[in-house]
Copies of this chain bind each other. A is one copy, B any other.
Amino acid sequence: MTHPSSLGETPAFSPLYQQIKGLILQGLESGEWKPGELIPSEMELAARFRVSQGTVRKAIDELAADNLLMRRQGKGTFVSTHAEQQVQYRFLRLRPDRGDTSEEGPAQRRIIECRRVRASAEVGRALALRSGDVVVQVRRVLAFAGTPSILEDIWLPGQAFKGLTMQQMADYVGPTYAMFELDFGVRMVRADEKLRAITPSSEQARLLEVGPCTPLLSVERIAYTYNDVPMELRRGLYRTDTHHYHNTLN
C-alpha cells in the first residue's frame, strides 16, 4: 500500500480508502468471495491491508451503497447476490397498480426460444463485441397472475454463457440473474435503461395477448458486471394496463 501523497507530481490524488475499495473489488471480481458469502471482518481486512479499521469501514460503506456488499450488524459483511434477496427482482421496476409486488409472487416464465446467433451490429455495439461474435439470444414471456405482462428478448455474450440451454432458463427457480451467478459466475451489478412508448408488431401483440394498437412500454436495458463491462442486452415490452414502471427521483 502506497500512500498517494508520496507518488510525486500531480499524483492524481486517490484517497487510501479508494485504494482499499479497489482491492476489495479485486477480491469480488476474482471470485475470492462469491455472491452470498461472508467476507473477512473489518479488523481482518484492516490488518491485511495495513490500514486502520476506519479506512476499511469507509471503503465498505461505499461498496455497500453501490449494492455490491451487504452489512448485517452482529453477523458480518456479505457479498450481495440476486438470489435470496427480499426483493425478488432487483432490477425490475414494474409494479402492480393495486396491491403489492409480494402478493403476485414470482412471474410465470414461458421460454419461446433460446439459440446461438451471430451478433448484429447493434447487439455487438451494446455488448462491446466484434460484430459476428456469437451471442445467445433468448425470447420469453413473463406472466403475472396468468396474464402475460412482459415480452423479453435477451442477448448474452456467447463466450461467457457457453452451454446455456432453454431448459436452464425455464427450470431455474428464482431470478434469472441469480442463475447467471450460480451457473456462469456472471454477476450483474448495475444497469442502464432506456424507456420508450411503442406500438407492438403483430407478433409481439400476439405473444402479449393485446390488441394490435395497444401502446407498450419498451425497456431497453444494458446490464453490467464489474468494471462496467456490459454482459447483457435486454429488450423488454411491458404491458402497462394493470402495472406501471416505478421510479424514485432525488
Contacts and interface: CB of A to CB of B under 8 A. Distances in A.
Interface in A214-250: 215-218, 221, 238, 240, 244-250
A103 to B, nearest CB: 18
A192 B240 contact: no
B250 A193 contact: no
A220 B226 CA distance: 34
A238 B195 CA distance: 11
Contact of A250 (B191, B199, B215): B191
A194 interface: yes
> How many A residues are at the interface, by size bracket?
20 to 34
Contact of A197 (B66, B198, B248): B198
A218 B213 CA distance: 16
A250 B189 contact: yes
Contacts of A244: 194-196
Interface of A is mostly: strand
Nearest to A237: B197
A195 B213 contact: no
Nearest to A238: B197
Contact of A215 (B189, B191, B199, B238): B199
B245 A195 contact: yes
A247 B250 contact: no
Nearest to A246: B194
Interface of A: 65-67, 90-91, 93, 189-199, 213, 215-218, 221, 238, 240, 244-250
Given A194-B245, A197-B218, A197-B240, 20 more contacts: A91-B249, A93-B247, A93-B249, A190-B249, A191-B250, A192-B249, A193-B246, A193-B247, A193-B249, A194-B246, A195-B217, A195-B240, A195-B246, A196-B244, A197-B198, A197-B238, A198-B240, A199-B215, A213-B213, A247-B247
